[in-house]
Amino acid sequence: MILDNAVMSPATPRLGEFRAYAHRGGAAENPENSPTAFAHAVSLGFRHLETDVRPTRDGVAVLHHDALLDRTTDAVGPVRERTWRDLHKVRLADGAAPLRLEELLGSYPDICVNVDVKEAGSVPAVHAAVERCRAWHRVCVTSFSARRISRVRGLAAPVTAAHPMEVLAHRSALPLPRRPQDGRLRLQVPLTVLGRPLVTEGFLAKARARGLAVDVWTIDDPAQMHLLIDLGVDGIMTDRPTALREVLQSRGLWTASRYSNTCS
């Protein structure tokens, strides 16, 4: 079984429209975080993109997952040791230079973007880029670091995903440090933690009671997608956007994934 039977009944009603996220633009179908990947996802009809930000030495927010350039580019070494002028000469697998966050936001002004701030320097870089684009209404900020999320929340009033300590508090039914009444907090979580199911009927029921939407990452198997939709999750992040679109189309949910002028 892909999911434990214990989490499958009954389905929990989801909050609002179902969200389909192209994880790193759809990393199983095109080079991750590349212009080609994002263009492909948008051409499929995705209105929610997920990406990662690393800062350059001169404070530019660049879309790149790893701290090092080695795995996904023709260069080596840390992103943060390059200036943007230097980094612009680097090439991804699709032949393009790494994207700035501003380029992604500017290229797709009707798209929502989930931004994972990967290190401390990403916080001011992301804040500056989103401010210049006036795009807080369509950006959700996430991080594994409670400190980075807190810094973002102190600089702006964005939609954010709960950091791991907040997820743990929610799972244990403890009070959350951040009150979610304004709908500006989402739970974006993996299916399991340390081999134990996290996304269960009880987890979703607690989320509904608190007015929190639950998005699950990273799901690439269509059967697993169907089971999570049956369970009542609010969104799925995938490296296989074509597969997720087909699943949602088969269930009449695809039109509900379209952009609605806000990411909250």
Torsion of Cα atoms, 188 then 55 then 109 then 260, to 10°: 10
**Is 65 annotated in the active site?**
yes
Token reading at 25:
């633009």
Q: Distance between CA 105 and CA 170 in Å, rounded?
A: 32
**Is 64 annotated in the active site?**
no
Written as one string, the DSSP assignment of 5-57 is: GGGSSSPPPPSSS-EEEEETTTTTTS-TTSHHHHHHHHHHT--EEEEEEEE-T
Give me the catalytic one of 48, 65, 137, 170: 65
Q: Are 149 and 143 in contact (CB under 8 A)?
A: yes
Give me the catalytic one of 23, 48, 64, 127: 23
Rg of the chain on CA atoms, in Å: 18
Token reading at 122:
């990403």
CB count within 10 Å of CB 2 equals 12
Q: Distance between CA 244 and CA 138 in Å, rounded?
A: 22
Q: Distance between CA 86 and CA 93 in Å, rounded?
A: 17
Q: Are 188 and 208 in contact (CB under 8 A)?
A: no
> Would you please indicate which residues are annotated as catalytic (active-site) residues?
23, 65
